[in-house]
Structure 1
Amino acid sequence: MKRSLCAVALLGVLASPWAQAQTACAAADGGRLLASGCFQCHGTDGKSGAFDALAGDGQLDMLNKLNEMRSKGVEGNIMYPHARGYTSAQLACITLYFSKLPKP
């Protein structure tokens, strides 16, 4: 009985960041307007830009990468100022938008 309770508790802890990220966007357009700042480098479809394709990537993975970029502050990394320019809720909207696009 103890093991099953621990397993359920662990599952809840592991799933909560994913669930939170999935529901964190309150933007009526699903984050498209916020994501438009990414279009020049990553393409409007998230796959035809000069840099990494983002379309269809996991939202939590993208969100974790952006948060890491925000915290590291690597000089010369173009993503550092971009990631810092948004709130956590805005980044959740951006990553939700790209995660829902079809993968290349």
Structure 2
Amino acid sequence: MFKRTLLLGAMAAGWLLTPALGQAQFVANDARLLASGCFQCHGTNGKSGAFDALAGDGKLDMLNKLNDMRKKSAGSSIMVPHARGYTSEQLNMIADYFSKQK
């Protein structure tokens, strides 16, 4: 009886955790999809050699730079319209994605 209860408890815990694990994977894929807009110039892993490397930059530093770009006048940098095209939450996800790249 005890083994059965223990087994059912373990199965229930696994069943309850499955959506959370799936959600974490969805968020990671979502962040990569958002960051893909940066790949053309900055490389797929944030290292293109032609433009500033984004891989491994600190999340907060990158987020501050992106938020500063959103405040600049439209013609001051090619990055301004790109930064303005994302919500604050999306920029946070992008900064998090590149901060984890090696």
What is the rounded CA distance, in whole Å, between the counterparts of 1:49 and 1:30 in structure 2? 25
What is the rounded CA distance, in whole Å, between the counterparts of 1:49 and 1:27 in structure 2? 28
Unaligned runs of 5+ in 1: 1-25
1:43 equivalent to 2:29? Answer: no
TM-score (norm. length: structure 1): 0.68
1:45 Cα shift? 1.2
What is the rounded CA distance, in whole Å, between the counterparts of 1:50 and 1:57 in structure 2? 17
Q: Which amino acid aligns with 1:75?
A: G
Max radius of gyration: which structure? 2
Unaligned runs of 5+ in 2: 1-25
TM-score (norm. length: structure 2): 0.70
Matching of residues 1-104 of structure 1 within 5 Å? 27-29=27-29, 31-102=31-102
1:78 Cα shift? 0.5
Number of residue equivalences = 77
1:72 Cα shift? 1.5
**4+ runs deviating over 4 angstroms:** none
Which whole-Å deviations, capped at 9, do the CAs of 1:67-96 have from their partners, x for residues lacking one? 000012251411000000000000001010
Q: Greater helix percent: which structure? A: 2
1:30 Cα shift? 5.7
Which whole-Å deviations, capped at 9, do the CAs of 1:21-69 have from their partners, x for residues lacking one? xxxxx82426100000000000001112521000000000000000000
Is the CA contact 1:30–1:97 (under 8 Å) kept in the aligned structure 2?
A: no
RCO higher in structure (CA 8 A, sep ≥6): 1
